Chain A
Amino acid sequence: SQTIHQWPATLVQPVGSPLSLECTVEGTSNPNLYWYRQAAGRGLQLLFYSVGIGQISSEVPQNLSASRPQDRQFILSSKKLLLSDSGFYLCAWSVMGELFFGEGSRLTVL
């Protein structure tokens, strides 16, 4: 069966520090991968999606970037975090029109 994992689960970082959130999918090949962000008390906003290795599409301009170095690995990064980057980040993969989400990573920027 397919599984998706993301880490770290919780992260507290100072403003201006770098960020790296990782997501891996197991049990499937060539999945579509996604990074979503959920601000407190709000719905999810799509940040990036990838249909293959090295193929990244950005949905909104921001301080973040994404990379897909391997088929089942998706990384969300930032060189310098802003206070507004705080939130709950969810990785997801899709098959047959259905999204499966990871456990989420809570980022607090101080």
Chain B
Amino acid sequence: AQTVTQSQPEMSVQEAETVTLSCTYDTSENNYYLFWYKQPPSRQMILVIRQEAYKQQNATENRFSVNFQKAAKSFSLKISDSQLGDTAMYFCAFMKLGNNQGGKLIFGQGTELSVKP
């Protein structure tokens, strides 16, 4: 069975600084997606970034980028130029592909990020 581990329950960063959130996962699969979701106080889950396992290039989305290390099964999220609106709970998630597995996400426990002015 797949597992996702986020070892940082809470983190804080000063506005405009850079912060990295850690995530490791365990799987024997070769085809999968990895995601970072953001859950602000409104509780709506918002996709931040997605990485396909077959792609070696790290995904980027504006101020958000990932460091995907497939062999090490590591998937960290870097937030550059942190903004107050980045304050939220961040979840790392794994999705196995194939056999109509789409949408069956395995989530980590989350990292609560606070951006301080």
Question: A residues engaging B (CB < 8 A)?
Answer: 32, 34, 36, 41-46, 49, 51, 59, 88, 90, 92-101, 103-104, 106
Question: B residues engaging A (CB < 8 A)?
Answer: 4, 33, 35, 43-47, 50, 52, 91, 95, 97, 100, 102-110
Given known contacts A49-B104, A94-B102, A97-B33, A42 and B110 CB-to-CB distance under 8 angstroms? yes
Which B residues are in CB contact (< 8 Å) with A97?
A: 33, 50, 52, 95, 97, 102
From residue B52, how far is it (CB to closest CB) to chain A in Å? 8
Q: List 15 A-B contacts (CB under 8 A).
A: A32-B102, A34-B103, A43-B108, A44-B45, A44-B91, A44-B107, A45-B107, A49-B103, A49-B104, A59-B104, A94-B102, A96-B102, A97-B52, A99-B35, A99-B45
From residue A88, how far is it (CB to closest CB) to chain B in Å? 6
Which B residues are in CB contact (< 8 Å) with A45?
A: 107
Roughly how many angstroms separate A94 CA and B50 CA in the complex, as a whole number? 14
Q: Which of A34, A99, A104, A106 contacts B47 (CB 8 A)?
A: A99
Docked-complex contact A43 and B107, CB < 8 angstroms? yes
Which A residues are in CB contact (< 8 Å) with B100?
A: 32, 51
Q: Which of A41, A88, A94 contacts B103 (CB 8 A)?
A: A94
